[in-house]
Structure formats: structure tokens, C-alpha cells
Amino acid sequence: MASVRSTVRDRVERLFNISGGMTDEELCRRYEQLYGPVTHSTVRTRRKELIVEGILEDSGETRETNFTGNQARVWIQKSTEAR
């Protein structure tokens, strides 16, 4: 049986496959819509792991967040050629 950590990580990766670029806020909202409640810290940690593994990267773009109105980085899936 998969651990909770690997399950959340796999779901986060799948969301980027489906949705394309997202801010952390967008990622957390989509995760909760599809899979139910989770702490935002957990989702952000799994997203960071995917960056370290070379699966995701910073797009260089930002979007305004709904929660604070601040600009947030947009994360994207790294092209398979770049991995």
C-alpha cells in the first residue's frame, strides 16, 4: 500500500499533467476539489519535492493570488527533453 506522502505526491504531479501551470494557491484549491481536505503545507512540500526531482520548475511568470492579492510564482511541468 502506498504511503500518504507518495499518494499526495502522485496526485500533485497528476494535477500538473492535467492542469498545466499553477500557483500554490491554485494547486491547493484544485487538490481539495478533486481529493478532499489536505493541509496546504503538505501540498507545497510535495510540489517542492517535484522541483528538486526535476519534474516541475518555475515558469518565470506570476499571478495575483485570491487570498492576499500578492503575486505568486506559477509552477509548470518541466519538458521531458529538459529532464
CA–CA gap between residue 41 and residue 49 (Å, rounded) = 12
Considering only residues 74 and 2, tell me which one the structure prediction assigns the higher pLDDT.
Answer: 74
pLDDT in the model for residue 81:
65
Residue predicted with more confidence, 65 or 28: 28
Helix, coil or strand: residue 63? strand
- Per-residue confidence band for 48, with pLDDT thresholds at 50, 70 and 90: very high
Residue with cell 499533467: 17
Q: Is the pLDDT of residue 80 over 90?
A: no
Confidence of residue 6 (pLDDT cuts 50, 70, 90): confident
Q: Tell me which CATH code domain 4-77 carries.
A: 1.10.10.10
Who wins on pLDDT, 67 or 14? 14
8 A C-beta contact, residue 68 and residue 25: no
